[in-house]
Structure formats: structure tokens, C-alpha cells
Amino acid sequence: MRVVKVSLGERSYSILIGNRLLPRLGSECKKLGLGQRCAVITDSNVAAKFSKPALASLKAAGFDPVLITVPPGEKSKDLKIVQSCYDQLALHRLERKSFVVALGGGVVGDLAGFVAATYLRGVAFIQVPTTLLAQVDSSVGGKVGVNLKAGKNLVGAFYQPRIVLCDLDTLKTLPQREYRAGLAEVIKYGIIYDQALFRKLERDLPKLLKLDPNALATVVARCCAIKADVVGQDETESGLRAILNFGHTIGHAIEAISGYGNYLHGEAISIGQVAAAELSAALTGLPLGDVERVTNLFRESGLPTGIHLNSQQRAKLFDAMKLDKKVSAGEIKFVLAERIGKVLWGQKVPQDLIEQVLDSQAA
Ligand SMILES: NC(=O)c1ccc[n+]([C@@H]2O[C@H](COP(=O)([O-])OP(=O)(O)OC[C@H]3O[C@@H](n4cnc5c(N)ncnc54)[C@H](O)[C@@H]3O)[C@@H](O)[C@H]2O)c1
Ligand SMILES: [Zn+2]
């Protein structure tokens, strides 16, 4: 088992990464000195596979858990679902020392974290992420929240978990497309922060695609450590944390114009990162050989590296980019790479260059 410490003063916590961790949920919660009553929030896909061992482990450690199951998918990050979770917590008489366990992907983590942050002005929160994306990204950093009609993640909080258990065994049941989408965030960490990780990914990709326990544990732990390091330096996103958005300016816009459905997040940011690498070659000196390595790694991971858009869709894409949070005074700002492992944020990019890059990708 690997342990990654997230250092945030008195809100510091550990991320445990390895196999057979779900059966330890109860004993790990016990060590935290939490109250007896608790809730496990999950979605119906994950419940079918993992609610039994999760509840059994909590009960064996003396806890009294209630299971709250929400429908799978982004639509559950909704205030109506939050309300129904609150009602079930109240019915089960959770009190100040009680805790909420998020058992699932990023949707469940964001939802359950928001419920934990706000119920009784905050009860303890435990994360058991079961998608690769949630293990390397959404479960680290403390952002929790839900969506409004007006946009994603518009209501939320910064709320840190007390512990994160990344049980790599849970990834065995994850649909392959979801797993590959998670790899897009994994590759991102190599590009933005760690040349050695990028090289390791190039070398070990076949092992990762086969869920080799050792390769996977090392890589997930490294990704968590990188995110923890970045978040530790900039918890509330005033500077450095922006580098985590590499590939996300175009990626988010692709998700927005395709109506959050055609592309998984990881697929959209795969296209976005390849485009950002090409912009980097033009503006921040990323060697062309590195652009090629980046493109190849995404391709070999089974992820899309370009998108064909007609002129109407293209116009919509730019509108979406300008609506994104990373725009100030009408200028689109990007995270760009100087080399693999080193990026700069807040880089202004002219629209015609973005158009050129999109044209060359689609060709
Ligand atoms: N808080 C953050 O910092 C942060 C960062 C990145 C993304 N997010 C959020 O994360 C969400 C996306 O998360 P996601 O990609 O994990 O999606 P998800 O939670 O919707 O999970 C993807 C699908 O896989 C299923 N699933 C989950 N674990 C499984 C398993 N082990 N076996 C079989 N099926 C399983 C789910 O039911 C779902 O259908 C988005 O809402 C995004 O906004 C948050
Ligand atoms: Zn992302």
C-alpha cells in the first residue's frame, strides 16, 4: 500500500492507495474517532458492486451506516438530490460526530462532499473513489459541489476529506471507456509537472491498460502526490492550481458544445491537451518531438486527439471558450508547456492560432 499525505495544516489527511482497501473502510474510520451513525452515498451502478462490502466493513467496526443510492451520472449533481440526501441523513439521525462516505466516481464524490460540507454545518467526510478519474483527480483537493441549470459546479465549497481510500480493485469493474478517460488526467500530470512520470507512462502503458497492480499503484500515488503538492501550495486557486487546467480550456468547450454527453470529460481534454501542445510549440517553445510524444501517448491510450467541426460548431466552440472561467477581459488564456514536465499559466493565445491548430488536428 502507498500513502500520500496532503499537507493542509490541521486539515491534513492521508490518501491510501492499494488493493483490498475497501474491506478496511470500517477500521480506518474507527482510527479517526468518528461517531457511530454514518451514511454511505453511492450511485446505483457502484452500489450493485460495492455497497455490500462497504456496509459490512463499517458494521464490523461497530458503525451504524445508512445507504443512500442516487442515479448514476452527472444529473445527480443537483440540489434536489442534495435535498433528498439531507432528508435521509435526518431520518437516520446523523449528528455532529457522524460522517458521510462517498463511494463512487467524481459525481458521487462531489455530491456527497457537498452534502457533508453543509449538513449540520459540516460533518466528517470520507472518500472511497471508484473511478480512475476520481482516484487521481476529483477526490484530491477538496472541491465539492453540484450543478445549476446555468452551469457546472456553480454551487459548492472547499471541504477536505478526513481520509481517502483508493482501492485499485474497484477499477476492475469500471467500463474500459471510463478507465481510458481517466488516463487523460494521468497523462496531464506528466505533462504539467513530471517528465519522469511521462516517460514511465510511455513505457508502462500496456501494463496500465491491463491494470497491473504495481504499475497502477505507483502511477496513481504519483498523480495524487502531484495534485496534493499543487493544491497544498494554492488551496483556493489563486495561482499555481491553474496548471491543473492544462487542456481544459478547449476540453470544457468541447464538452459544452456537445451537450455533455458525446464526449466523456477525459476524451474532451485529450483533444484539448493535444491542441494545447500544438499551441505550446508555436508560443512557448515546446519541441515538435514532444508534441508528437504527447499525441502518441493519448492515441495509444485509445483517446481521441482531434475533432472535426463545421463552421457553425467552430463558432459555438469559441463562444463556449469565452464563457469559461479562464477568460478575463475577453482574452482566452491557456496553460502552455515549455517542455514536458514544465508549464506556464495565464498565456494569452490569439484566436486565429487556435483556429489553425484545430484545422490541423481535424485534417
Ligand atoms: N472535485 C474536483 O476537483 C473534480 C475534479 C474533476 C472532476 N470532477 C467531477 O467528477 C465528475 C466525473 O467523475 P467520473 O468521471 O468519476 O464520473 P462518474 O462518477 O459519473 O462515474 C462514471 C461512471 O462509472 C460508474 N462507476 C463508477 N465506479 C465504477 C466502478 N468501480 N465499476 C463500475 N462502474 C463504475 C458510475 O456509475 C458512472 O456511470 C464530474 O462531475 C466532474 O465535474 C470533480
Ligand atoms: Zn479534468
Compare 239 and 44 and report the one with higher pLDDT.
44
Question: CATH 1.20.1090.10 occupies which residues in the chain?
Answer: 176-362
Full-model pTM: 0.95
Q: Is 5 a catalytic residue?
A: no
Q: Is 348 a catalytic residue?
A: no
- Protein residue closest via CA to atom 33 of ligand 1: 174
Question: Ligand 1 pocket, 42 CB below 6 A?
Answer: no
* Ligand sitting nearest the alpha carbon of 136: 1
Q: What is the CATH number of domain 2-173?
A: 3.40.50.1970
Of residues 9, 14, 12, 13, the one with CA closest to residue 1: 14
- Edge-to-edge strand list for the sheet holding 37-43: 2-6, 13-18, 163-167, 124-129, 99-104, 37-43, 64-70
Question: Ligand 1 pocket, 49 CB below 6 A?
Answer: yes
Compare 141 and 181 and report the one with higher pLDDT.
181
pLDDT of residue 192: 98
CA dist 264 and 270 (Å) reads 10
Q: Is 121 a catalytic residue?
A: yes
Question: CATH 3.40.50.1970 occupies which residues in the chain?
Answer: 2-173
DSSP assignment of 62-79 equals T-EEEEEEE-SSGGGSSH
Q: Is 180 a catalytic residue?
A: no
Instruction: Assign domain 176-362 one CATH number from 1.20.1090.10, 3.30.230.10, 3.90.1170.50, 3.30.420.40.
Output: 1.20.1090.10
Of residues 269, 241, 39, the one with CA closest to residue 133: 269
pLDDT of residue 260: 61
The number of beta carbons lying within 10 Å of the beta carbon of residue 192 is 24
What is the average pLDDT across 131-143?
A: 95
What is the average pLDDT across 124-134?
A: 98
**Ligand 1 nearest atom to the CA of residue 50, by list position:** 31
- Express each pLDDT in 259-282 by its tens digit: 766 899 999 999 999 999 999 999
- Express each pLDDT in 289-337 by its tens digit: 999 999 999 999 999 999 988 889 999 999 888 876 555 666 688 999 9
